Each structure stands twice: as structure tokens, then as C-alpha cells.
């Protein structure tokens, strides 16, 4: 079955501390993986996608096929990073997303 | 408008009532998606349109749910005889094409509460 697991519902860190939001997936093929973010009172928006290998707002994510993980990392958290983060998988050749249940990140001053 | 627009933002329906949720995608976007997000959950796929063609409706939970996009732009998600379990945020998204790696732009959602 195709599934995305985000084990943490809530993650609290202090400003300036490193952040890692965990995402594991279950998919037999080559997945396309994404992180979406939803700031307070805003719409869901793309943060980054694995195929681009980019860094957005200081966040990076590396696809580890051996561990079937796509964890989101940032070395120094900022208060404005506080938001809901969703990991999503798009089975190759399809158009739909399979989302995890999300992790709420709170960055404390 | 610059983004995906959904209306109404909030809808309270009595159990058994029919509701219609509207989505206005970004102009020129070929693909349109509907997702359902229950409280505390991630969005779950409902249906997909490429222009006016509904290519996938595998996520629609029952035959009470119906979606259309007759002219390949605005889409309506209709729920007949609403039940309490239909209470959720309904998200619409559009993308330039249907490719799996194409960014989807989401609307603000319609929060449906069935009482």
C-alpha cells in the first residue's frame, strides 16, 4: 500500500536550534516526494520537492531510498518557521498526492 | 485573481441537505484536484480533472459525492444528503499540467460542518 507516515504530531524547538521533521513512505516504485507547508491562516503551499534538490528558506530534504525516508531539515530554526508541515508522495506517472498527517512545528523564542 | 479561489469559505449544513462547493482555478491551469481534509488528518484525494474530463474519481467516498468541470475551468463539488462524517475541509488545487512533479496550487478550502 502507498502510505506516508509522519510520526510526530507536534515538534517544539527553540529559536536557533536544529530542526528535523520526519517522513517515511511506503511505495514500491520510484516516488516523487514533496514537502508542503501551511502557515497560520494561509493556504497549503509547496516548500520543496526532492527532484529539484533545492534549499528553500534554509530547509533541505534528502531522499533516502534505503530507509524510505524524506526527512526535512533546517540547521537553525526561526520563529517564522512555525507552521504545519505535510510530507507528500506522488506515485510516479500519476498526478495525485498522498499526504501524511502533518507535523506542527512550533519555534519558541 | 492570482490564486485558486474557493467559495464559500464556511458552510454549515443540516444533515440530509445538499451542498455545492465551488472552485475557481488559476487561469490556464489544465489540471484540477479536489481533496478532503478531516480534522487532524492530511488531505485525501477525491477526484481529478484534466480540462473538462474527469479522469479519476476513485477517491470519492460514496455516490453522494459528485464533481464537475463542464467548461474546463470552474469546478463544483456537490454532496447530496450530507452526513456528519462529511464534515471536513474541502480543498481544491490546480496545476499547469497533470504531471506528477508539477506544483499544485491550493485554495483556502471550504470548511463544511454538518449538524
The answer to which of A81-85, B64-68, B103-107 has the lowest mean pLDDT is B103-107
Q: Report the pLDDT value the prediction gives residue A47, as an integer from 0 to 100.
A: 94
Q: Report the pLDDT value the prediction gives residue A51, as an integer from 0 to 100.
A: 77
With CB atoms and an 8 Å threshold, state whether B106 touches A44: yes
| Model confidence at B47: pLDDT above 80 | yes
Enter the DSSP assignment of A59.
Answer: B
The closest alpha carbon to A51, from A2, A90, A102, A95, belongs to A90
Angle, CA of A10, A15 and A21, to the nearest 5°: 35
Closest Cα of chain A to B56: distance in Å? 9
Contacts of A9 in chain B (CB under 8 A): 40
> What would the mean pLDDT of A17-42 be, rounded to a whole number?
93
Asked if residues A89 and A97 have their Cβ atoms less than 8 Å apart, the reply is yes
Contacts of B95 (CB under 8 A, 6+ apart): A95, B29, B30, B31, B33, B102, B103, B104, B105
**How is domain A3-108 classified at the architecture level of CATH?**
Sandwich (2.60)
Q: Report the pLDDT value the prediction gives residue A77, as an integer from 0 to 100.
A: 97
With CB atoms and an 8 Å threshold, state whether A99 touches B33: no
Number of H helices, E strands in chain B: 0, 11
Pick from B101, B107, B109: which is nearest to A51 by CB?
A: B101
* Cα–Cα distance, A89 to A50 (Å, whole number): 10
Condensed to tens digits (0 to 9), the pLDDT of residues A32-56 reads 899 999 999 999 999 998 877 778 8
Q: Report the pLDDT value the prediction gives residue A28, as an integer from 0 to 100.
A: 84
Closest Cα of chain A to B98: distance in Å? 5
Which residue would you say has higher pLDDT here, A56 or A100?
Answer: A100
Amino acid at each position: 500500500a502507498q502510505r506516508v507516515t509522519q510520526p510526530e504530531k507536534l515538534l517544539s524547538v527553540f529559536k536557533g536550534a536544529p530542526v528535523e521533521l520526519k517522513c517515511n513512505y511506503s511505495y514500491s516504485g520510484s516516488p516523487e516526494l514533496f514537502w508542503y507547508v501551511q502557515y497560520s491562516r494561509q493556504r497549503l503551499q509547496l516548500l520543496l520537492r526532492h527532484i529539484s534538490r533545492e534549499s528553500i528558506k534554509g530547509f533541505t530534504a534528502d531522499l533516502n531510498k534505503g530507509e524510505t525516508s524524506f526527512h526535512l531539515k533546517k540547521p537553525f530554526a526561526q520563529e517564522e518557521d512555525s507552521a504545519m508541515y505535510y510530507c507528500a508522495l506522488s506515485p510516479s506517472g500519476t498526478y495525485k498526492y498522498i499526504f501524511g498527517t502533518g507535523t506542527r512545528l512550533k519555534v519558541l523564542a | 485573481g492570482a490564486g485558486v479561489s474557493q467559495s464559500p469559505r464556511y458552510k454549515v449544513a443540516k444533515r440530509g441537505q445538499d451542498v455545492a462547493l465551488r472552485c475557481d482555478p488559476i487561469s490556464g491551469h489544465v489540471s484540477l484536484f479536489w481533496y478532503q481534509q478531516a480534522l487532524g488528518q492530511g488531505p485525501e484525494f477525491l477526484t481529478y480533472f484534466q480540462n473538462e474530463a474527469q479522469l479519476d474519481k476513485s477517491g470519492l467516498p460514496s455516490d453522494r459525492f459528485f464533481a464537475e468541470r463542464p467548461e474546463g475551468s470552474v469546478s463544483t463539488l456537490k454532496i447530496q444528503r450530507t452526513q456528519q462524517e462529511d464534515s471536513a475541509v474541502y480543498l481544491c488545487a490546480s496545476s499547469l499540467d497533470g504531471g506528477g512533479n508539477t506544483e499544485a496550487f491550493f485554495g483556502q478550502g471550504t470548511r463544511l460542518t454538518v449538524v
